[in-house]
């Protein structure tokens, strides 16, 4: 009846195994203990940036009264690098480990879950009373508001540009061949250096008297500052006349000269014109005596040829007034919003019969003596080009180079007024940034900074890599 107690080869093997395996495990642990390697207690591999601390548990699990803390201490993290606060108005300080999850292998340490942000943002409260931002955001799909720029749907810029017209085949010069412009011909990130096709060398590299600062709005000062320095490829540089328009839109002002006026403030243009015509008449004094081309009156009768003689200052004043009238009414006003200026009567220069009388010369003399040093071109409105439309998030054109411009800016092909907004709204982002495979990342960290890196403190880590301890300094 005891046959089942008799050892069989199989049973013997089982017995030995049950004794041997724990023994092997004990020896393995003892060996690691002897070598001060604590990885055996660990719940998983550390992330790449921390992999060098794999054997240094105490770097994060601070040793207190001989025992290691089960939690990673914030103070331990902060001893090696700063993690500045998020917002002065936040009601509590979450632990670092709530968002930066460790022991999950080689994952992106900054890939905080939606929940780690939604713990506050799904019911946002602040120290200072009501929140300034949408208060019920759980995820990009759930509760995230439309972007402020898209909700406002207005571009405050004053440079007139008909995108639709310029995106169709268009003449590159009066009477010149038609060309197909590309977005890239006018819009580039500052970090890209390639020659501009529609630039005009005469305007490149010239410092204008107006300042860049008041041309465009910059980022809101209250937005979180990213940690990494900008690459110069995230956002597009403001469009410049010299690089993007001058090749086709000439600022010519008089048939005597091939070159155009400087692209600058009206007073600079005025000074330029005064000088230019002044130098010209000094060497062409014969032009002070003008004879009108023979012409006919309304009945077809040939008129007597008429003559007049001007002094050099009168001649210059007249020509400058005519040129400024053209620039102000046509050339500059094509692209700019300008304040209306009461222009002097330049009909004198057109030989209108009423003005050919003796009084004419006096009126030109008045013009010359008038001391209108600022000239007659109306003041040009500040360009107000917006450089950053979404200051409370990150955006990077460079991360989207695989997509055509119009996949996000479809309206750029149909817009005829500058006041129309071409920046995409949240619906466009959601077509690609969505949960699940085959989609781009949609958790908050992809588009937002968490730490306010402008508050960053430099930390001098006391820690040295184990390998360096043997260095014997
Ligand atoms: C770079 C910092 C860091 C180092 C180094 C580190 N850990 Fe952790 N560990 C963490 C964080 C963060 C947690 C999450 C705990 C929390 O919620 O505070 C954690 C949690 C744990 C847990 C609890 C189980 C879990 O997954 O939540 C154990 C066990 C653990 N660590 C063991 C170790 C051992 C053993 C070592 C050394 C081999 C080690 N850790 C090294 C950061 C670290
Ligand atoms: C012993 C020093 C040390 C400790 C302790 C430490 N770190 Fe780090 N940490 C580093 C080093 C070194 C890097 C890699 C270089 C860098 O990015 O500054 C790094 C990188 C990081 C990064 C950037 C990861 C990336 O994708 O580039 C995060 C986030 C981070 N640590 C969070 C933490 C948190 C949270 C803790 C506490 C649980 C912690 N660290 C504890 C030294 C440390
Ligand atoms: C609510 C979530 C959250 C908490 C809490 C948090 N972080 Fe972060 N941390 C992030 C996110 C998201 C990023 C990436 C975006 C950024 O740079 O702000 C980040 C970035 C970092 C980086 C830089 C990573 C890089 O890109 O190089 C460091 C270092 C860091 N955190 C350390 C800490 C430390 C230390 C603490 C605790 C004092 C902490 N964090 C608390 C979410 C969090
Ligand atoms: C501890 C609570 C808390 C957590 C966690 C938190 N936030 Fe906030 N967040 C706030 C508060 C408070 C404000 C400021 C609200 C105000 O001024 O009205 C804020 C403001 C913001 C803003 C507004 C824009 C700006 O530039 O200032 C953004 C974007 C934001 N948080 C993103 C995040 C992201 C992304 C995470 C997760 C990585 C996160 N927050 C986690 C409390 C939190
Ligand atoms: C695909 C990118 C993307 C993702 C993912 C995303 N956001 Fe946003 N978020 C934006 C943009 C763009 C804005 C507009 C910023 C602006 O108007 O300056 C914005 C605005 C905000 C604002 C300010 C809202 C306001 O009232 O103006 C908060 C707060 C915010 N996001 C929090 C979050 C949180 C929390 C998550 C994750 C649950 C998240 N976002 C995920 C892109 C994103
Ligand atoms: C083909 C379009 C075009 C024409 C024509 C044009 N401009 Fe401009 N102008 C621009 C653009 C684009 C800018 C924006 C920034 C830049 O180029 O510096 C600008 C900017 C300016 C500014 C600076 C505005 C600010 O933000 O303070 C002044 C001043 C100016 N132009 C004067 C003139 C004058 C005077 C004329 C006529 C002689 C003229 N422009 C003709 C396109 C034009
Ligand atoms: C390839 C040559 C070319 C370039 C480059 C170019 N334009 Fe033009 N633009 C034209 C031509 C040609 C017309 C006249 C079309 C017509 O009237 O049919 C025109 C017309 C315009 C008009 C009048 C549009 C209307 O609706 O009547 C404005 C304003 C204008 N351009 C602004 C600009 C600005 C600002 C730039 C630089 C950012 C620029 N253009 C660059 C060729 C160009
Ligand atoms: C994935 C969507 C997407 C694509 C593709 C894209 N853009 Fe944008 N673009 C945006 C967003 C979002 C903004 C607003 C960013 C900001 O200012 O915060 C923007 C802003 C701009 C601006 C205004 C200035 C600025 O940078 O804020 C210009 C000009 C522009 N884009 C031109 C282009 C051109 C040219 C291309 C093709 C080379 C292009 N975009 C491709 C989404 C896109
Ligand atoms: C001839 C030069 C020119 C070309 C070509 C051009 N743009 Fe523009 N773009 C401008 C000028 C000038 C402005 C500033 C006036 C304004 O705000 O509309 C501007 C403004 C913008 C803005 C930001 C302002 C807003 O209202 O949203 C976006 C985005 C933009 N362009 C996208 C595009 C895209 C995409 C293409 C190609 C399909 C393109 N542009 C082609 C000259 C050009
Ligand atoms: C046509 C698809 C597509 C659209 C539309 C799109 N994205 Fe993306 N986006 C991507 C891809 C692909 C990446 C890079 C891969 C990744 O991070 O998952 C990316 C990356 C990003 C990044 C990370 C950049 C970095 O430095 O790592 C941000 C921020 C971002 N997108 C914001 C936006 C915003 C805001 C919008 C809407 C205005 C938008 N995207 C629309 C496909 C898209």
pLDDT digits (tens, 9 = 90+) for 437-473: 999 999 999 999 999 998 888 888 776 666 555 543 3
Q: Which atom of ligand 8 is nearest to the CA of 147?
A: 12
- Give the model's confidence band at 345: pLDDT under 50 very low, under 70 low, under 90 confident, else very high: low
- The yes-or-no verdict on residue 362 having pLDDT over 60 is no
- The yes-or-no verdict on residue 353 having pLDDT over 50 is no
pLDDT score at 413: 97
What's the average model confidence in pLDDT over 147-173? 94
What's the average model confidence in pLDDT over 418-423? 96
Q: For all residues of the chain together, what is the average pLDDT?
A: 85
User: Distance, CA 125 to ligand 7 centroid (Å)?
Assistant: 50
Residues near ligand 10 (Cβ within 6 A): 394-396, 399-400, 403, 407-408, 424, 428-429, 431-433, 440-441, 446-447
- Give the model's confidence band at 425: pLDDT under 50 very low, under 70 low, under 90 confident, else very high: very high
What's the average model confidence in pLDDT over 327-344? 86
User: Distance, CA 225 to ligand 4 centroid (Å)?
Assistant: 13
Determine the residue of 380, 386, 418 to mutate for testing ligand 6's pocket, defined as the one with the most ligand atoms within 8 A of the Cβ atom: 380
Which distant-in-sequence residues (6+ apart) come within 8 Å of 328 by Cβ?
Answer: 338, 341, 343, 376, 377, 378
pLDDT score at 182: 96
Torsion of CA 116, 119, 123, 127, to 10 degrees: -90
- Give the model's confidence band at 357: pLDDT under 50 very low, under 70 low, under 90 confident, else very high: very low
Determine the residue of 89, 94, 140, 435 to mutate for testing ligand 5's pocket, defined as the one with the most ligand atoms within 8 A of the Cβ atom: 140
pLDDT tens per residue, range 175-225: 788 999 999 999 999 989 899 999 999 999 888 898 876 566 666 666 777
Q: Which atom of ligand 3 is nearest to the CA of 109?
A: 24
- Give the model's confidence band at 34: pLDDT under 50 very low, under 70 low, under 90 confident, else very high: low
CB contact at 8 A, 62 and 68: yes
Query: Which is nearest to 236 in space by CA: 179, 168, 157, 169?
Result: 157
pLDDT score at 473: 35
Residues near ligand 1 (Cβ within 6 A): 38-39, 41-43, 46, 50, 53-54, 56-57, 59-61, 70-72, 97, 102-103
What's the average model confidence in pLDDT over 230-250? 93
**Alpha carbon of residue 135 to chain centroid:** 27
User: Distance, CA 249 to ligand 7 centroid (Å)?
Assistant: 7
- The yes-or-no verdict on residue 388 having pLDDT over 70 is yes
Which distant-in-sequence residues (6+ apart) come within 8 Å of 133 by Cβ?
Answer: 124, 392
pLDDT score at 44: 85
- The yes-or-no verdict on residue 350 having pLDDT over 60 is no
pLDDT tens per residue, range 75-92: 999 999 999 999 988 999
pLDDT tens per residue, range 107-147: 899 999 999 999 999 999 999 888 889 999 999 999 999 99
For the CA of 198, the nearest ligand = 7
Query: Which is nearest to 117 in space by CA: 135, 131, 102, 132?
Result: 135
**d(Cα 296, Cα 269) in Å, to the nearest integer?**
37
Residue 110 near ligand 4, beta carbon < 6 Å: no
- Give the model's confidence band at 42: pLDDT under 50 very low, under 70 low, under 90 confident, else very high: confident
- Give the model's confidence band at 337: pLDDT under 50 very low, under 70 low, under 90 confident, else very high: very high
pLDDT tens per residue, range 296-317: 677 777 766 667 788 888 889 8
User: Which residue's entry shows tokens 């199989």?
Assistant: 10
**d(Cα 271, Cα 316) in Å, to the nearest integer?**
12
Q: Which atom of ligand 6 is nearest to the CA of 211?
A: 27
pLDDT score at 374: 57
- The yes-or-no verdict on residue 436 having pLDDT over 50 is yes
Higher model confidence: residue 55 or residue 375?
A: 55
pLDDT tens per residue, range 257-272: 999 999 999 999 999 9
What's the average model confidence in pLDDT over 322-347? 84
Tokens representing 471 are 């260095």
- For the chain, what percent of residues have pLDDT higher than 90? 53
Determine the residue of 62, 100, 456 to mutate for testing ligand 3's pocket, defined as the one with the most ligand atoms within 8 A of the Cβ atom: 100
């Amino acid at each position: 009846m005891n046959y089942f107690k008799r050892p069989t080869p199989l049973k013997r093997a089982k017995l030995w195994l049950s004794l041997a395996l724990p023994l092997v495990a004990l020896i393995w642990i003892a060996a690691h203990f002897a070598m001060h390697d604590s990885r055996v207690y660990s719940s998983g591999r550390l992330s790449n940036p921390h992999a060098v601390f794999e054997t240094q548990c105490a770097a994060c699990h601070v040793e207190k009264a001989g025992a290691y803390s089960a939690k990673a201490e914030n103070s331990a993290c902060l001893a090696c690098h700063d993690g500045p606060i998020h917002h002065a108005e936040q009601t509590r300080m979450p632990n670092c480990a709530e968002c930066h999850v460790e022991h999950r292998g080689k994952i992106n340490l900054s890939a905080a879950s939606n929940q780690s942000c939604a713990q506050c943002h799904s019911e946002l409260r602040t120290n200072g009373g009501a929140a300034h931002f949408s208060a019920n955001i759980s995820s990009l799909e759930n509760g995230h508001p439309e972007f402020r720029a898209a909700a406002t749907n207005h571009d405050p810029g004053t440079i007139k540009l008909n995108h639709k017209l310029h995106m169709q085949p268009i003449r590159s010069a009066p009477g010149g061949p038609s060309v197909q412009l590309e977005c890239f011909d006018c819009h580039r990130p500052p970090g890209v250096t390639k020659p501009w096709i529609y630039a005009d060398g005469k305007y490149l590299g010239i410092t204008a008297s107006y300042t860049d600062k008041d041309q465009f709005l910059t980022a809101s000062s209250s937005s979180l500052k990213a940690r990494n320095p900008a690459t110069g490829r995230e956002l597009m540089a403001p469009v410049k006349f010299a690089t993007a328009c001058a090749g086709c839109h000439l600022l010519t002002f008089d048939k005597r000269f091939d070159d155009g006026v400087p692209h600058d403030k009206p007073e600079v243009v005025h000074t330029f014109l005064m000088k230019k015509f002044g130098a010209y008449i000094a060497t062409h004094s014969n032009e002070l005596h003008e004879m009108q081309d023979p012409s006919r009156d309304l009945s077809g009768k040939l008129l007597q040829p008429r003559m007049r003689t001007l002094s050099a200052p009168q001649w210059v004043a007249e020509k400058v007034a005519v040129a400024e009238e053209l620039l102000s009414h046509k050339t500059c006003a094509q692209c700019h919003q300008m304040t209306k200026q009461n222009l002097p009567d330049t009909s004198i220069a057109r030989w209108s019969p009423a003005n050919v009388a003796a009084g004419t010369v006096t009126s030109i003399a008045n013009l010359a003596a008038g001391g209108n040093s600022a000239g007659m071109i109306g003041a040009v409105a500040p360009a107000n080009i917006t450089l950053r439309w979404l200051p409370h998030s990150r955006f990077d054109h460079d991360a989207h180079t695989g997509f055509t411009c119009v996949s996000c800016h479809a309206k750029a092909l149909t817009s005829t007024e500058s006041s129309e907004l071409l920046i995409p709204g949240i619906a466009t982002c959601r077509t690609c940034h969505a949960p699940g495979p085959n989609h781009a990342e949609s958790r908050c960290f992809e588009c937002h900074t968490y730490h306010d890196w402008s508050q960053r403190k430099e930390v001098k880590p006391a820690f040295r890599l184990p390998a360096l301890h043997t260095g014997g300094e």
